Structure 1
Amino acid sequence: MVVEQTHRFLDTDGARIHLTEQGRGYPVVFCHGFPHTGFIWHRQLAAVAAAGCHAIAPDLRGYGRTEVTGDVTAYTNAAVIGDLLALLDDLGAEQAVFVGLDFGAQLVWELALRAPDRVAAAVVLNNPFSPRPPRAPSEYWTKAAQRHFLHLAYFQEPGVADAELAARPREFLARVYFALSGDYHYLDTWKNPPGLGYLDVLPAAPDLPWPWLDEAEFDTLATEFERTGFTGGLNWYRNLDRNWDLTAPFAGATVPVPTYFLYGEHDPDMAGFSGRDPLATLRASVTDLRAVVRVPDAGHLVQLEQTAAVDAFLLTALRELGVAPPQPAQAEAR
């Protein structure tokens, strides 16, 4: 039997969060990144629901149908973690499994430090844990951006990237999704000089559909950003230094929760944004690292590019954790 998705809103401190839910059972919460919405996980929601769990994908602050009150400081990791904890309380759940990609991965890592008792496990795609650096992030990217285009620096000036991307949302989304995929080498954008816009450095995207993204899926994502623009998502970038300030108590901390990590063979975050040896850092910083899986022929949007591999990884983790029912053959064997 196919379990349908449902939608509802949850009022938290300073936000009205839009939730997409599917299935019943143990809660599994999916955290997206930029420029996505909770819809980016719709295939995984279906798989996790079919496996006997309650899959939940919020539109995080700044995205989709979620509404936020307050200025740019309302988009810190600490504020969004407050939303996730409010979600657990609303569900009446002591814990959940949290799944994250991109900014959602950073969110899950920080949640595991701030509230490890509420995290049954972290399942992270592509963005490995990195210890808090000794200096604010802007000190690193500002120096790099003097040599070449770097989106981290370009996104900082309020109104600049906002206007560029909102003027051509479908073109931007197609080009950035393609550039981040395993079909392109995203770090080639660094070959461009500073002073350009993002659309000046991104490659042209082939016409849809792609082998891993169809026109209806793209239209669902693009329609949301046509309506909202990109400022909410860009505000996450504008809080990177503020997040660094707020995590001072966790300098040198290790991640104590059970953790499963999967990455695409061609993911640009692994190649260019996660240090010289990200897997060694991950293994040294996560005390209960249970699996590390490399997925061939995939880039940053690995859950769309190689859906079957990601779904299998998720379901294996949920069954090992004992929160998803065993497969029928396993149940019969017992």
Structure 2
Amino acid sequence: MDPLNAASRTVDVGGLRMHVLDQGTGPAVVMCHGFPGLAYSWRHQMPVLAANGFRAVAPDMRGYGGTGRPADPRDYARGATVADMVGLLDALEIEDAVFVGHDFGAALVWDLPQWAPGRVRALIQLSVPRRGDSPVLPSTANAAQAEKHFFHLHYFQQPGVADAELDADPAGFLRRVFWALSGEYRYLDIFRHPSEGNGYLDVLPEAPPLPWPWLSEAEFDHYVEVFTRTGFTGGLNWYRAADHIWREKRQRPDEPVTLPVCFVTGDRDPVRQIVGADSMNEMRASVPGLAEVHVIPGAGHFVQMEAADQVNQIMLGFLTGLA
């Protein structure tokens, strides 16, 4: 299923075969999805960018879709995922690019200016603000939250547990999680449930029948087909790599991001509620290059799908301004 008219190819990024969608010519814009996403998650952005003089590049990130899926979570630590992005630029003969990140893709993209200097022109970040490194190991912090209520980050870090549940019902999980994280639901309601005795499907809400205003049945079916084929372990390994990334970054503390940055979020994105109001000020302090902040009314976590037209307009305005 390819409604994008994009070139679909698989390239060697250095020890990993990566599937990528590639459309248009001009300055490159590389879009990095999160969980549970795919290159396809940028389907609304790619043709618009291409039509306006940019080269839109969207990979299936390590562990997803048509890209290789290493079994060891240590292979999803920051050194490996940065190398993926540098290898992708090299394979496509791109000197530098504007990088766009969403969800854990945003966490990776925040590190790229420091970890891949000279290969990044600017950043467009969706949903996840930059935050300072925690003094506490992520698994320890997540376990503390799980003592109070169900916490998906802790649940995802348990090897084999979430995999078995999600792989058994990809359609049921995807329908529920897309809905729960959207602007139509208050995701923090799942925190009313205890961790003990509950899986993710037990605490996620029932979702209304498709289509929704921002997701058609055909689009949803594409996600189901891919994750039914690949399973969720690769995506979950990004969460299981959290402690490894934390240790890497203790040896390489964050530096200020001085490149131009545009930040976009929905006002109903649960990330805003989980990280707290101070996170925006924390981001401003560590990102002196922050040029634009956009909060889109009514949008939830999947802002590039839920508010595609607004996100496209913001992206084009920022990209044009860079020139």
Q: TM-score, normalised by structure 2?
A: 0.96
Secondary structure in structure 2 of the residue aligned to 1:257: coil
Tell me what 2:43 maps to.
Answer: 42
Distance 2:297 2:269 in 1: 10
Distance 2:98 2:137 in 1: 30
Tell me what 1:229 maps to.
Answer: 231
Unaligned runs of 5+ in 2: none
Native 8 Å contact 1:131 1:251 kept in 2: no
Write out aligned runs for 1:17-36 (5 A). Answer: 17-36=18-37
Cα displacement string for residues 94-117 of structure 1 (whole angstroms, at most 9, x for unaligned residues): 210000100100010011221232
Cα displacement string for residues 165-207 of structure 1 (whole angstroms, at most 9, x for unaligned residues): 0111001000000000000000111110112100000000110
Write out aligned runs for 1:227-266 (5 A). Answer: 227-266=229-268
Distance 1:116 1:182 in 2: 36
Secondary structure in structure 2 of the residue aligned to 1:67: coil
Tell me what 2:83 maps to.
Answer: 82
Tell me what 2:210 maps to.
Answer: 208
1:138 Cα deviation (Å)? 1.7
Write out aligned runs for 1:53-64 (5 A). Answer: 53-64=54-65
Native 8 Å contact 1:14 1:69 kept in 2: no
1:141 Cα deviation (Å)? 1.2
Distance 2:264 2:50 in 1: 20
The answer as to 2:161 corresponding to 1:155 is no
Distance 2:149 2:164 in 1: 21
Secondary structure in structure 1 of the residue aligned to 2:45: helix
Runs of 4+ in 1 over 6 A off after TM superposition: none
Distance 2:278 2:70 in 1: 39
1:74 Cα deviation (Å)? 1.3
Paired amino acid for 2:108: L
Worse-matched range after superposition: 85-94 or 16-25 = 85-94
Distance 2:37 2:254 in 1: 31
Native 8 Å contact 2:50 2:56 kept in 1: yes
Secondary structure in structure 1 of the residue aligned to 2:37: coil
Secondary structure in structure 2 of the residue aligned to 1:132: coil
Write out aligned runs for 1:1-334 (5 A). Answer: 4-69=5-70, 71-195=72-196, 196-272=198-274, 274-322=275-323
Cα displacement string for residues 17-57 of structure 1 (whole angstroms, at most 9, x for unaligned residues): 00011111111000000011110001101111111111010
Root-mean-square deviation over aligned CA pairs = 1.4
Paired amino acid for 1:165: L
Paired amino acid for 2:317: T
Worse-matched range after superposition: 156-165 or 249-258 = 249-258
Distance 2:22 2:173 in 1: 28
Cα gap change, 1:12 to 1:207, in 2 (>3 Å):
same
1:276 Cα deviation (Å)? 4.1
Native 8 Å contact 2:102 2:127 kept in 1: yes
Distance 2:20 2:4 in 1: 16
Paired amino acid for 1:205: A
Report the number of matched residues. 320
Paired amino acid for 1:159: G
Native 8 Å contact 2:63 2:70 kept in 1: no
Paired amino acid for 2:141: Y
Secondary structure in structure 2 of the residue aligned to 1:164: helix
Distance 1:116 1:277 in 2: 29
Tell me what 1:329 maps to.
Answer: none
Cα displacement string for residues 49-99 of structure 1 (whole angstroms, at most 9, x for unaligned residues): 111111010000110011234522111232111011011122322210000
Native 8 Å contact 2:72 2:237 kept in 1: no
Cα gap change, 1:189 to 1:83, in 2 (>3 Å):
same
Identical pairs, percent: 47
Distance 1:3 1:152 in 2: 33
